Amino acid sequence: MIIAPFMHNHVLLNDINDYYDNNCIPITLISQKEIEDHNLIDFILVDYDFLNTNKNKIKHLESKTKNIIVIIPKDQEKGFHQYIAKIRPYHLIMDSEQEVNFLYQKLLPTYCKYKNNFWHHCIEGESTAEHNFSNSATLQEEFDKIWQKVELSTVFQDFHQILSLVANELISNAMYNAPTENGAAKYRSRDRKNKLLLTDKECPIMQVFDNQNSISLVIKDNFGSLTKEVLSNYLGREKEMVEHENKDGGAGVGLFLVMHYANRLIINIEPQKNTTIICSFNKTKRRKNFLQDSKSFYCFEWS
Amino acid sequence: MSNQVEYGGGKLKVNIENEGEQGKLFFEGVIDEDFSGDKISSVKFKNYLIDFDKVSMINSCGIREWITYLETIDSQSKITYVNCPPVIVNQMNIVAGFLTPNAKVESFYAPYYDEEEDEEIIKLLKVEDIKDGKAPVLTNDNGEELEFDGIEKQYFNFINLQKK
């Protein structure tokens, strides 16, 4: 795997050699020609300063790989959604020790080793619950049962309500938006007051991975109809407040809410096959820490 | 006089009390796509007091339905939200339209942290308790100071959004 960092005065430039394993070849101070000479660059790390001043170069790099990871300063965290709206990246992370460690120690090595099944290896903890959702009328009851299997004594009081909200948004989207028939969305425009009873193939699955430090919800559908464009449209709103949409189907703010609460969102799309969304939350008794923890967004789209 | 309306097989209950010109609406449960203003907007009041004390979640479709419901209320009517839990405060701060020009929050719950007991304590505050965007200083039973456990600028943003 080849990683090409394009950064200005960035700490990662110094650290990169400490982290890569044998499968990763970091190319520091890579030239345009070197990029041209490589058939494939797996990941290109870019800091926001570089992005701002080298927009044309970035456009060119995008033709070489979808995996451009934009690293934005921690103190600009409030603009997370605005960055998604503005630069519509496949990958966006905060410049925090936690996320940098995750990137180098987990994501890059497992991506290299396991390719499209990499995400299994990026989640810590055991799967404590697995559930198929076939009936959109009973989601809340089913979530309540699932949270009973999760260790929630080390989190603030309404943490489970945040989990319910995020699970509700993601499962509802997977039930109404994912299923296709003859290439067309089957239930997307249906009013969500009209409940669904899905067939086995149409049912999304949620697994919950629980460990001492975090909880991850893994939601998988069997359609792969989500696209990066849809994600960018709904995750990235330039305003600090989001407005609902008066349209058929969902309200158009669910994904925005998911990203607002999640510490890490990994989306793995195999078009027309399946979509897996991994949504992780740091466990803490301090709500303030939860809100201040870094955020990251990764979208992998496999051809 | 009072009556109760249920949605989604009882996951949301709304108790409506008629006190002359003012209607008091007590919400309990989950506000989601199954909520509809139609069932409760047939009786009109001059002013509305809306109690969210027992609301456990409001999702994106619930927010849309809520905003649609607000549109059925006369713009001259006063809407007062009381006992707003963090799940409601958070959504007010993120999604536009919750606080219409005729709506105001009177009281809401705020998270505090008790270091001595290592636990979160949720306290009911009045909007006027917030001075210059700062949470009021509160103490536990032993007189130890509690720490506001959130980001003040973010959590109290709804106060700026209310039409003064």
Contact A58, A51 (CB under 8 A): yes
The residue of chain A nearest to residue B121, with distances taken between CA atoms, is: A157
Band (pLDDT 50/70/90 cuts) for residue A281 is: very high
Q: Do B57 and A140 touch (CB under 8 A)?
A: yes
Inspect the interface and report whether the beta carbons of A242 and B95 lie closer than 8 Å: yes
Q: Which residues contact B65 (CB under 8 A, 6 or more apart)?
A: B31, B32, B33, B35, B36, B37
Average pLDDT of chain A, as a whole number:
83
Percent of chain A with pLDDT over 90: 44
**Residue B24 confidence (pLDDT):** 95
Q: Is the pLDDT of residue A241 over 90?
A: no
The CA angle A268-A113-A271, to the nearest 5 degrees, is 25
E strand or H helix that includes residue A284? none
Give residue A23's pLDDT band: very low, low, confident or very high (50, 70, 90). low
pLDDT of A25 over the 60 cut: no
Q: Which two tokens stand for residue A299?
A: 């979208």
pLDDT at A282 over 70: yes
| Antiparallel, parallel or unpaired: β B2-7 and A180-181 | unpaired
Beta-bridged to residue B145, according to DSSP, are B139
What number is the average pLDDT over the span A127-148?
Answer: 94
Is pLDDT at A46 greater than 90 in this prediction?
Answer: no
Q: Which range, A1-5, A72-76, A188-192, B149-153, has the best average confidence (pLDDT)?
A: B149-153
Predicted local distance difference test score (pLDDT) of residue A6:
64
Per-residue pLDDT tens digits for B129-140 = 999 999 999 999
Model pLDDT, residue A9: 45
Please report the pLDDT score of residue A13 as a whole number: 44
B151/A246 touch (CB, cutoff 8 Å), yes or no: no
- CA-based nearest residue in chain B for residue A249: B61
Amino acid A211 reads N
pLDDT tops 70 at residue B3: yes
Q: Does A244 or A163 have the greater pLDDT score?
A: A163
Cβ atoms within 10 Å, residue A113: 13
pLDDT per position as a tens digit, A197-218: 999 999 999 999 999 999 999 9
What is the reported pLDDT for B146? 97
Which tens digit of pLDDT belongs to each residue from A52-111?
A: 777 777 777 777 788 888 888 877 766 788 888 888 889 999 888 888 888 888 888 888
3-class DSSP state of A155: coil
- Whether the full predicted model's pTM is greater than 0.80, yes or no, is yes
State how far residue A226 is from chain B, nearest Cα, in angstroms: 19
Cα-Cα-Cα-Cα torsion A230, A234, A236, A241, nearest 10 degrees, comes to: 170
- Whether B120 sits inside 8 A of A192 (CB atoms) is no
**Disruptive mutation site among B30, B33, B60 for chain A (greatest number of A CBs within 10 Å):** B60
Q: Please, which pLDDT band fits residue A10 given cuts at 50, 70 and 90? A: very low
Residue located via tokens 């003859």: A182
Least confident of A139-148, A214-223, A245-254, B110-119: A245-254
Nearest CB partner across the interface for B120, out of A157, A191, A291: A157
Stretch A118-141: mean pLDDT? 92
Q: What angle do CA A1, A95, A92 make, to 5 degrees?
A: 60
Rounded Cα distance, A159 and A170, in Å: 17
Exposure string (b/e) for A37-71, b if CB count within 10 Å is 16 or more?
A: eeeebbbbbbbbebbeeeeeebeebeebbbbbbbb
- Per-residue pLDDT band at A233 (split at 50, 70, 90): confident
Containing A253, the helix (H) or strand (E) segment is none
Contacts of B34 in chain A (CB under 8 A): 193
Residues on chain A touching B7 (C-beta within 8 angstroms): none
Q: Please tell me the predicted confidence (pLDDT) of residue A237.
A: 72
Mean pLDDT of all residues in A151-164: 93
User: What's the whole-number mean pLDDT along residues A105-132?
Assistant: 88
Q: Residue range B117-128: average pLDDT?
A: 95
Task: With cut-offs at 50, 70 and 90, classify the pLDDT of residue A22.
Answer: very low
For B134, list phi and psi in degrees, rounded to 5: -105, 140
Question: What ipTM does this complex have?
Answer: 0.93
pLDDT in tens, B57-114: 999 999 999 999 999 999 999 999 999 999 999 999 988 888 999 999 999 999 999 9
Q: Which two tokens stand for residue A5?
A: 């960092």
